[in-house]
Amino acid sequence: MKLDEYRIMWVLVFFDLPTDTKKDRKNYANFRKGIMKDGFDMFQFSIYLRHCPSRENSDVHVKRVKSVLPPRGHVGILRITDQQFGEIEIFYGRKKEEVKAPPQQLELF
């Protein structure tokens, strides 16, 4: 099956977790380490993303995020196509930054 910008998915994880107690900070760290272990990279503070070659592959990673959810706090999971992600505009202050190219996927025959 040919990979294209409508089939390739990006999974974004947004979170706002409490850090009031030592236990909260440990839960925060464990959640963050868990999603990073699964290949998520920090996009912005408390926003992580992962490139997936298909919807089916994104299902696997969403399930893994759900398996490390902390007991408290807010977590959002959003899936968008590569086409949609390609429309992103990034600014540092008022200066527009060039968007880095997504990772290349190998296609096995």
Asked whether residue 93 is domain-assigned, the answer is: yes
Asked whether residue 108 is domain-assigned, the answer is: no
Reading the block at residue 53, the tokens are 């070659």
| Number of structural domains the chain divides into | 1
Of the candidates 30, 2, 4, the residue with the CA atom closest to the CA atom of residue 15: 30
Instruction: Provide the b/e sequence for 59-78 (b: ≥16 CB within 10 Å).
Output: eebbebbeebebeeeebeee
How much of the chain, in percent, has pLDDT values that exceed 90? 72
Asked whether residue 85 is domain-assigned, the answer is: yes
Distance separating the N- and C-terminal Cα atoms of the chain: 9
Q: Which residues pair with 9 in a beta bridge?
A: 52, 81
Q: What is the pLDDT along the chain (109 residues), one digit of tens a residue?
A: 455 777 899 999 999 999 999 999 999 999 999 999 999 999 999 999 999 999 999 999 999 999 999 999 999 999 999 999 989 898 988 888 877 665 555 555 4
Residue 67 sits in a domain of what CATH number? 3.30.70.240
Domain that holds residue 67: 9-97
Asked whether residue 50 is domain-assigned, the answer is: yes
